[in-house]
Amino acid sequence: MTVNVAIAGASGRMGRMLIEATLRDPACALAAALDLPDSPFLGRDAGELVGIGQSVAISSDVAAAFDVADCLIDFTRPEGTLRHLEAARVAGKAMVIGTTGFDAAGKEAIARAAETIPVVFAPNMAVGVNAVFRLLDVAARILASGYDIEIIEAHHRHKIDAPSGTALRMGEVVANAVGRDLEACAVYGREGVTGERPAQQIGFATVRGGDIVGDHTVLFAGLGERVEITHKASSRMPYALGALRAAAFLKGREAGLYDMQDVLGLK
């Protein structure tokens, strides 16, 4: 069963990776490629961006994209993603959202749209990361007492939100597992005379630099030992492959808000 996919942000780093993954996947067809109205790539062959011949021209017409696509995959920015989401709702088509950095209102808009269309919304589409989420749940329950929890993440210099959506999701997983409210116990960076670390605290540290694709570590630090669970991405391809699995999952699916745990059958 072929899935006809539209890709948002076609000329960006993630957009190009999604185009390449789609063109190489026999179960998917690239139906449309979208970019900003002022993009110099409009009208160009999407496949040329990744060195693969393809007859889909890059466009800014979102409505036309939904005429030919079953699902739009969007890893752009919150404001653009929400515009695309409204177009998906009007068209009655599915959407895979890998964009991060949404505020509470943005997340609420996604939840409302998912009442009428099927949506996969996840902070990280990589299959390996979602396996790590499950491992973190198990580890946190075992190490709930006597271990301090710290989350360290690193990304490229161009990333616009911090901590990353993946780091925040890791924090939510471990906080839920140990019965804490992340909003109440999280600390995002430390400076000056901070005093002794509260036992219930969950700390976040952020690194930005160079071309780091994405590194995440959750550290459980106890007396005389440390347990570290780490995921490192050396390419954006795992995110693209996971997004295509999500698009295939949504084919024929009823309206609802899903995540990668649903896609991978981990719930």
Given this model, what pLDDT does residue 262 score?
Answer: 96
Given this model, what pLDDT does residue 22 score?
Answer: 96
Given this model, what pLDDT does residue 102 score?
Answer: 93
Q: Give me the catalytic one of 155, 156, 158, 232.
A: 155
Nearest to 124 by CA among 147, 155, 146: 155
Domain boundaries of the chain, sorted by first residue: 3-125+236-263, 127-233
Given this model, what pLDDT does residue 266 score?
Answer: 84
Its CATH architecture, for the domain 3-125+236-263, is 3-Layer(aba) Sandwich (3.40)
DSSP E strands: which ranges in 63-117? 71-74, 94-97
* Residue 216 designated active-site: no
Q: Give me the catalytic one of 159, 216, 251, 267.
A: 159
DSSP 57: B
Q: What DSSP string describes 125-151?
A: --HHHHHHHHHHHHHHHHT-SS-EEEE
Crossing angle, helix 237-250 and helix 13-24, to 10 degrees? 60
Given this model, what pLDDT does residue 132 score?
Answer: 96
Show the CA angle centred on residue 119, arms to residues 44 and 234, nearest 5°: 60
Given this model, what pLDDT does residue 1 score?
Answer: 76
148-155 and 202-208 strand pairing: parallel
Given this model, what pLDDT does residue 101 score?
Answer: 87
Residues with pLDDT less than 70, the chain: none
CA distance 228 to 47: 40
User: The tokens of 192 are what?
Assistant: 């000056």
For domain 127-233, give the CATH number.
3.30.360.10
* Residue 156 designated active-site: no
Adjacency order of strands within the sheet including 71-74 = 58-59, 28-34, 3-7, 71-74, 94-97, 118-121, 256-258
Given this model, what pLDDT does residue 84 score?
Answer: 98
